Amino acid sequence: MKVHSFILSTLLLIVTSFGCDRVPESAIFYKGNLHTHSYWSDGNGFPGEVAAWYKDQGYHFLAVTDHNILQEGEKIVNVRGEEGIVLQELESYRSDFEEPGKFLLIHGEEISDAAERKPVHLNGINLKKMVPPAKGATVEECVINNVKAIREALKESGTPEWVIINHPNFGWALKWTDLAKSGARFFEVFNGHPGVRNYGDSIRPSTEEMWDQANKWRIDNDEPLLLGVATDDAHHYDTYKVGRANPGRGWVMVRTGDLAVNTLYEAMVNANYYCSTGVELVNFKADHKRIQLWVNPEEGVEYTTEFVGWLEGSDEPEVLKRVDGAEAAYRLTGKELFVRARVISSKIKDNPFAEGDQEMAWLQPVTP
Ligand SMILES: [Zn+2]
Ligand SMILES: [Zn+2]
């Protein structure tokens, strides 16, 4: 008996330890966009058209985030050659689109503020009340004040951390220190609007570089890591081409058992999601010991995963490991302050943010 149970437990140990490397079962991911405009502000789609576009394209959830307004109350517009059109409130068209487990609409607002003549925009997701811009003498102060105000308003909804700092390089407005000190958990590492300069320029950093700098600061200051999201910031639903702010460019894939506001929120706060502009994952694992991911490969497409990290004592982040193929893994050594994975595909994105963009995915950073 003793021998048997020893063999059994040894076998179990072997199975468990090797089991980690197998492709896990496909996880359920819900696809969503957290940044969208309509005729309620400067978008050119009626609310129902916008919701229909996302639902038809297989998205599971959509946050409607017009500038400094919630889709409620009376709003009259003159558009498409007609005058006096009363826009539908979210609560009046919600039931035309929502389906349990299939599609969900979430109230939001893009709080659109400015300081030092630079735009400071933040999304509050699941707001019940419109939040006015909080103002501030400097960009840094403006970001901090708005994060505080939105968090305060979101407490009522039970989703206090669902604040996203938008497009930091729009108007070259934000520095990485603004992201670092903001108190926000989320920022847009990718935004599909053609004017937002995700990739920086020859002298100014990309949003990804700002992300790493901000997280180095947060680790040094014992603050929670900043998480990245990809969004559309869609404004234009008529013509589809580079240079227009079209839907379908960047999204989040949230891993949770149930399509509901609170479960999506919990999953996102716990970094249980990834960002994508086209690359789809079968699953991923990311903890203090390792990061593993499995791409759902498309025929004829090649994938490279880069593990970007910041080593103790180093002055800058670097690619710690590069893996070709649809599977990739990185084992943390303990010398990293943090590591994150990004997948770059050889497939050219259709109707991209910028001409020639390759489809990508981004996982959230982890610490040893
Ligand atoms: Zn904006
Ligand atoms: Zn926007």
Instruction: Report which bound ligand comes closest to the CA of 37.
Output: 2
Domain termination site, one of 230, 253, 276: 276
CA 173 to chain centre: 20
Same domain, 287 and 148: no
Q: How far is the CA of 115 from the centre of ligand 2 (A)?
A: 17
Q: How far is the CA of 199 from the centre of ligand 1 (A)?
A: 17
Same domain, 267 and 303: no
Q: What is the DSSP string of 45-61?
A: S-HHHHHHHHHHTT-SE
Tokens encoding 221: 């200051």
> For residue 313, which phi and psi values (nearest 5 degrees)?
85, -10
Q: How far is the CA of 109 from the centre of ligand 1 (A)?
A: 10
Same domain, 271 and 283: no
Q: How far is the CA of 40 from the centre of ligand 1 (A)?
A: 14
Tokens encoding 74: 């009376």
Confidence of residue 320 (pLDDT cuts 50, 70, 90): very high
Q: How far is the CA of 266 from the centre of ligand 2 (A)?
A: 24
**3 state SS of 165:** strand
**What pTM value is reported for the model?**
0.93
Domain termination site, one of 233, 253, 276: 276
Instruction: Report which bound ligand comes closest to the CA of 232.
Output: 2
Helices 90-97 and 47-56 meet at what angle, rounded to 10? 30
Same domain, 186 and 284: no
Q: How far is the CA of 283 from the centre of ligand 2 (A)?
A: 30
Q: What is the CATH number of the domain that holds 91?
A: 3.20.20.140
Same domain, 337 and 286: yes
Q: What percent of the chain has pLDDT over 70?
A: 94
Q: How far is the CA of 122 from the centre of ligand 1 (A)?
A: 7
Task: Please say if the pLDDT value at position 155 is more than 60.
Answer: yes
6 is a domain residue: no
Same domain, 209 and 301: no
58 is a domain residue: yes
2 is a domain residue: no
Domain membership of residue 308 as a residue range: 279-368
Q: What is the CATH number of the domain that holds 297?
A: 2.60.40
pLDDT value for 22: 65
Tokens encoding 207: 């949003």
Tokens encoding 140: 């840094």
> For residue 365, which phi and psi values (nearest 5 degrees)?
-70, 150
pLDDT value for 21: 56
Task: Please say if the pLDDT value at position 12 is more than 60.
Answer: no
Confidence of residue 13 (pLDDT cuts 50, 70, 90): very low
Task: Please say if the pLDDT value at position 9 is more than 60.
Answer: no
Please name the helix (run of DSSP H) or strand (run of DSSP E) that holds residue 253, with its range, or none. Answer: strand 251-255
pLDDT value for 16: 39
Q: How far is the CA of 35 from the centre of ligand 2 (A)?
A: 6
User: Over the stretch 92-108, which tens digit does the pLDDT of each residue have?
Assistant: 999 999 999 999 999 99
Same domain, 118 and 68: yes
- Closest to 322 (Cα-Cα) out of 307, 339, 302, 340: 307
Confidence of residue 27 (pLDDT cuts 50, 70, 90): confident
31 is a domain residue: yes
Please give the tally of structural domains in the chain.
2
Same domain, 204 and 76: yes
Instruction: Look up residue 302 and give its DSSP letter.
Output: -
Same domain, 263 and 284: no
Specify the pairing of strand 186-191 against strand 227-231.
parallel
Same domain, 265 and 318: no
